[in-house]
Amino acid sequence: MTEFLQQLVNGLAQGGIYALIALGYTMIYGVLRFINFAHGDIFMLGAFAGFYLAPATLKLFGAGPSYAGAALVLLGAMALCALIGIVIERLCYRPLRDRPRITALITAIGVSLLLENGGQLLFGADPKSFPDLIVDRALDLPAGWGPLSALTITLSQVLVLGVTLLLLVALRHVVNRTRTGLAMRALSLNPTAAQLAGVNLDQVIMFTFGLGSALAGAAGVLISIQQPSIDPLMGISAGLKAFIAAVLGGIGNLPGAVLGGVLIGLLEALVVGYLSPTYRDPIVFAVLILILIFRPAGLLGTVQKEKV
């Protein structure tokens, strides 16, 4: 029982990270109808932004790890990634907006390769050790919690999960309660009608890239707090898993991306815990194939119909 719960805890933490990345895939798909294959690399850039920002930022609050420093590193990485996402959209995707989708898709693969190889050139190909932003420790769980008492839960796991939840709530607010969020949803449903209502498509698409990239950047820092070895190719696998999560939940559907992320995270943890780490990736990819065959719209996605 304890073993099972432990896997769930581990899976949830990983799933939250996938959810943050998957949201970017799905939001960008919503407004542009294409998969931004470079999105996983933004996640990697988030980790490196954190890596380079950390020493100076932590120094502001004394020498060692601190919550304020960690928060500032996180925000800094998010801002940098938002900026990078916006620049990529402006330079690489906007000029191709009226071309066939496949053109943008191939360009995205090109951008992804550029970021991965550029990262190796700039940061070096060897893994780097992410600095400690907080002092991590295992939490003492009360003895009265039955099987829960024996779980190993670390402070960083709790913090990462908490921050992830906070980001999800903030995103939900932006998308459902703000004027720009409404415009984003309208644009993803019908760009022509959105324009006729006065929406500047360029602006909203830019905003969407910024928002999605900031979330991926946050995920990059959050994962590095838990697994402090980072390298320029770390975005490939995480990006792919998050993409599968977005498809599983229903591409274009925001709650679906979160659900998909959590499910993929849990599935991975259970496979690693009960079968073998070797089976982790094959099983996740098998899930992708199965959804595409049996439920291409995803768990929460609906096939869109318009009445005529």
Partner 1 sequence: MLSVSDLHVSYGAITALNGITFRVEAGAIVTLIGSNGAGKTTALRTISGLLRARSGQVSFLGEDLSALPAHRIVGRGLCHVPEGRMIFSNLTVEENLAMGAYLQRDAALKARNLAFVFNLFPRLKERLKQTGGTLSGGEQQMLAIGRAIMGQPKFLMLDEPSLGIAPRLISTIFEKIVEINRDHGITILLVEQNAKLALEVSSYGYVLETGRIVLEGPSQDLRANPRLKATYLGG
Residues engaged in binding partner 1 (CB under 8 A): 179, 182-183, 185-186, 189-190, 192-201, 304-308
Q: Report the alpha-carbon distance of residue 301 to residue 285 in Å, rounded.
A: 19
Evaluate the CA torsion angle 7, 10, 11, 12 in order and state its sign: positive
Cβ at position 56, least distance to partner 1 in Å: 41
Q: Report the alpha-carbon distance of residue 118 to residue 58 in Å, rounded.
A: 27
Q: Report the alpha-carbon distance of residue 190 to residue 181 in Å, rounded.
A: 14
Evaluate the CA torsion angle 186, 190, 192, 196 in order and state its sign: negative
H or E segment and range at residue 200: none
Cβ at position 206, least distance to partner 1 in Å: 14
Cβ at position 256, least distance to partner 1 in Å: 13
Find the length of the chain: 308
Of residues 201 and 288, the one with the C-beta less far from partner 1: 201
Q: Report the alpha-carbon distance of residue 154 to residue 176 in Å, rounded.
A: 33
Radius of gyration of the chain (CA): 20
Q: Report the alpha-carbon distance of residue 158 to residue 116 in Å, rounded.
A: 30
Cβ at position 24, least distance to partner 1 in Å: 20
Of residues 181 and 228, the one with the C-beta less far from partner 1: 181
Of residues 30 and 228, the one with the C-beta less far from partner 1: 30
Cβ at position 255, least distance to partner 1 in Å: 13
Q: Report the alpha-carbon distance of residue 89 to residue 1 in Å, rounded.
A: 47
Cβ at position 308, least distance to partner 1 in Å: 6
Do 164 and 223 touch, CB atoms closer than 8 A?
A: no
Q: Report the alpha-carbon distance of residue 116 to residue 110 in Å, rounded.
A: 10
- CA angle centred on 248, ends 212 and 168, rounded to 5°: 35
Cβ at position 286, least distance to partner 1 in Å: 31
Cβ at position 204, least distance to partner 1 in Å: 10
Evaluate the CA torsion angle 293, 294, 298, 299 in order and state its sign: negative
Of residues 212 and 252, the one with the C-beta less far from partner 1: 252
Q: What angle, rounded to 10 degrees, do the helices at 201-226 and 39-59 form?
A: 60
Of residues 191 and 273, the one with the C-beta less far from partner 1: 191
